[in-house]
Amino acid sequence: MARKIMCMGTSSHVGKSILATALCRIFYRQGKRVVPFKAQNMALNSYVTRDGGEMGRAQVAQAEAAGMEPEVDMNPVLLKPTGNACSQVIIKGKPVGNMSAREYHNGYSLKAFDAVKESLARLDKEFDTIVIEGAGSPAEVNLKANDIVNMRVAKYLNAPVLLIADIDRGGALASLVGTLELLDEDERALVKGLVINKFRGDVSLLTPAIDFLEEKTGKPVLGIIPHIDQMGIDDEDSVSLQEKVSVEEAAELKIAVIQTPKISNFTDFDALANEKDVSLYYVKEAADFGTPDIVILPGSKNTSEDMLYLDESGIARMIRSHAETGKAVIGICGGYQMLGEEIQDPHHTESDLDSIKGLGLLGMVTVFFDKKLTNQVKADCQDLLFMGQTIKASELTGYEIHMGKTEFKNVTDLHPFTIKERSRKACHDVEGTASALGNVFGTYIHGVFDNDDFRRQLLNAVRLTKGLPALANTRKVMAEKQQNYERLADVVEQHLDMDKLEKIMSESSI
């Protein structure tokens, strides 16, 4: 039987995911066979496993920190909001249907807990340490009866809980005390320690507050974790998106990512944002469009409605004008579909719209159907004409998550990508579309910018149009991620009482 530790928070975005990631790396460095787990995620930032299953991105980062391949058992239930208080429900990596919040919480969630128990049983058997993450707050009394991600998991496993508060928000002490007060007695007993996260300043000034907190709650404060700038670890939830840069800054290259209401997989652009010659910013309104060198349309959980938003907001007109001047436009997944002539949804798979006109920048039509395609892929890029340069790159890696089939209508458009492998099966499939003019292209491959050589060739092509010299690629994104996990683990290990934590975990596993 594996040892367990569970990270819960006083609210969303207090640092549960990050602390769980740090613990995964710390235990991994100790030689433990450690695995992350979160019963239920609600997120638009998802990932596809090697076997084609879809899961939340936070557990992907935690798996990487734990030195292992992501698996859907790490996140057996995933909810992807589609709008109007409705979500697509994904169990063990596969969609089972769309449900309203009421339908899910009042009727289906406890059935979904069967999948949670199945996943836990396997992980408990195969690993010696499980790091578990909760969601939001365990004290949401209106949701508690049908909640399957917080105290129901802790009680099912008899797992010790760390309760985390974000002091950077203010009110951390009150949120810790209040959360404990709202828990049932048996739930409070499972909380074995408190953690204060994102502290700035002189920690000695916090001593009176810590003394009060421990006396008031009877729970030890196991750590005061400092605020860590530029962690470089993938974000998952919409709160993270709200913190992204929304104003263009001075840089040699400016990239505008269009933040549509149903944007998904915004981690696709982190590798670009971290380039020293790039200012990457998110555009929600036409007034914020700025003067970008590259416009990127991201993935979407509701492509038709996001296209409607582009039209109504005036952003569509600005993108077309940007392309007409010869500047670069790139679409990823749903954004790729929006670059075409039309999006058809005859079965109302995503919305009530039968069809909607696209931006008309690529000669293609996308027709939605019920089946979602989810694959990890390997691909080659052959002769992508882009901004006067020809980009070639082999052994690209990424993943597909999309509905619909795209039909090519313009014989002058190019198709620069070839998928060589889908979910470990060899293939030879044409993918992506690029305009003959060389300034617009799209692809279904999420994570394509994480490929170092491809990313730098792309940026250099735009640099040359501005009279700037090409730069050598000096970055390795995957190696940077591993360094960031190490840095995070170093900080947490220094500021968390690991001896007390080990004792708590050992006592709870008896």
Active site residues: 333, 446
CB-based contacts of 343, cutoff 8 Å, min separation 6: 303, 304, 307, 337, 355, 356, 358, 365, 366, 368, 404
Strand positions, DSSP E, 292-434: 294-297, 299-300, 328-332, 342-344, 355-357, 364-386, 389-408, 417-422, 425-431, 433-434
Contact 310, 356 (CB under 8 A): no
CA torsion through residues 162, 165, 167, 168, sign: positive
**Strand order across the beta sheet in which 191-199 lies:** 34-37, 129-133, 3-9, 161-166, 191-199, 221-226
Integer angstrom CA distances of residue 34 from 135, 245, 266: 20, 34, 28
Please tell me the distance from the alpha carbon of residue 380 to that of residue 366, in angstroms, as a whole number.
Answer: 23
Please give the single-letter amino acid code of residue 260: T
Please tell me the distance from the alpha carbon of residue 234 to that of residue 354, in angstroms, as a whole number.
Answer: 35
The enclosing H or E element of 208 equals: helix 207-217
The enclosing H or E element of 163 equals: strand 161-166
Question: Both tokens of residue 416?
Answer: 């620069």
Closest to 252 in 3D by CA, of 7, 471, 20, 409? 471
Please tell me the distance from the alpha carbon of residue 116 to that of residue 360, in angstroms, as a whole number.
Answer: 44
CB-based contacts of 189, cutoff 8 Å, min separation 6: none
Question: Phi then psi for 393, rounded to 5 degrees?
Answer: -155, 135
Please give the single-letter amino acid code of residue 250: A
Question: Both tokens of residue 237?
Answer: 């939830």
CA torsion through residues 38, 43, 48, 54, sign: positive
Please tell me the distance from the alpha carbon of residue 50 to that of residue 423, in angstroms, as a whole number.
Answer: 6
